[in-house]
Amino acid sequence: MMALPELKIGRIETFLVPPRWLFVRVETVDGAHGWGEASLEGHAEAVNGAFEAIRDRFLGHDARRIEDIWQIAYRGGFYRGGAVLMSALSGLDQALWDLKGKALGVPAWELMGGRVRDRIRAYAWIGGDKPHEIDSAAAARKAQGFSAVKMNATAELDWIGTPRLFDEVIRRVEAAQAQGMDVGLDFHGRVHRPMAKQLAKVLEPLGLLFIEEPLLSENPEGLAEIAGLVSTPIALGERLYSRWDFKQFFERGAVDIIQPDLSHAGGISECRRIAAMAEAYDVAVAPHCPLGPLALAACLQLAANAPNVAIQEMSLGIHYNVGHDLLEFITDPEVLTPVDGFLPIPQKPGLGVTIDEDKVRAVAKEGHRWRNPIWRHADGSFAEW
């Protein structure tokens, strides 16, 4: 392989792309470029603002030095971590892997040691924020070739209640399973500890793929308790942003499947390290990705290279994609189209997808102001969404 000439960063651009995404474009002074995704749902403007410091740090920097840039971006500002700063770093990191792969004419996974698989099982969402019409939605996903789906377990739940509140949850799971689907159930951090233990126990006989965020990750001791109560695999991680955030969950034995988001948790570089940590604890990886095409393409680079990646979330047809869907801003949609329930590992250089730059620039002129809904309980108090 020929030596790669220095690639000095000349421009870093960001684009608010509807329905709720933030794309990043890094260009060198010689015109080479790469794309990444720094989407942080509901907080795109804050992440966009974080790029002011990134530009000050890295314009003129050698884009080949991805790890050096990562370390400076993470450690060099004194304050570190958190959703906003790590999402900005994630988009930058993805774009640098895309740029370097394109410059060398190889996929990013080739630069990380090559492939361990040819395709990865995918799952799609059904049911929306407040799950409904599960049987028909599961049938539609089956017709698309999926064999696995995920849905929200419940709408808002109060702090206490009785097990009869779970009857509907069980019926929805059984409806999806009746269509031949494996089901992952997302508690979405909506269920508080007094009821989460009951719901996890009631669901155990159904044979779920996993229960996701049975409690918020800010409650690691409660998650460890639930993990000890049931045999159903516990999944979490979309609200964790670095290997240091994940460390205590590995040490407590509180998680069986981690779900780092490659647009929140430091990009490809950091999520590869998180996956390696997880492998040491015999924990599977199922990256979180209800986002756009660049985020998914980055996830597939990790799936290509990390042996413990078990399944990949994708946002095709998800209820959040109002007005624009997953494949709309790429010119090669076949790269991210599932076949028989699996996503192929991209073969093109960099992240392996081609962005329709004219379309991105056009829609970004209007941008978006996506916000998640605010829910309340029957008594008027705030309810977790």
Q: How far is CA 146 from CA 69, 138, 153, 207, 320, in A?
A: 38, 9, 20, 18, 19
Distance CA(56)–CA(75), nearest Å, equals 15
Catalytic site residue from 33, 43, 264, 288: 288
Residue closest to 299 by CA, chosen among 274, 271, 334, 319:
271
Active-site residue, 288 included: yes
Residue closest to 275 by CA, chosen among 235, 240, 283:
283
Q: Is the peptide bond before 19 cis (omega within 30 degrees of 0)?
A: yes
Active-site residue, 188 included: yes
**Which 3 state secondary structure label does DSSP give 90?**
helix
> The tokens of 143 are what?
């017709």
Residue closest to 135 by CA, chosen among 92, 79, 183, 177:
177
Cα distance between the two ends of the chain: 50
Catalytic site residue from 33, 188, 264, 368: 188
Q: How far is CA 30 from CA 26, 33, 59, 106, in A?
A: 12, 9, 13, 19
Q: What are residue 85's DSSP bridge partners?
A: none
Which amino acid is residue 59, in one-letter code?
A: L
The DSSP string of 156-217 is ---SS--GGGGHHHHHHHHHHHHTT-EEEEE-TT-S-HHHHHHHHHHHGGG--SEEE-SS-T
Query: Do residues 331 and 352 touch, judged by C-beta distance below 8 A?
Result: no
Q: How far is CA 67 from CA 5, 33, 34, 245, 259, in A?
A: 17, 18, 16, 20, 22
Distance CA(349)–CA(373), nearest Å, equals 38
Distance CA(140)–CA(145), nearest Å, equals 9
Distance CA(172)–CA(154), nearest Å, equals 10
Q: Give catalytic residue positions.
A: 188, 288
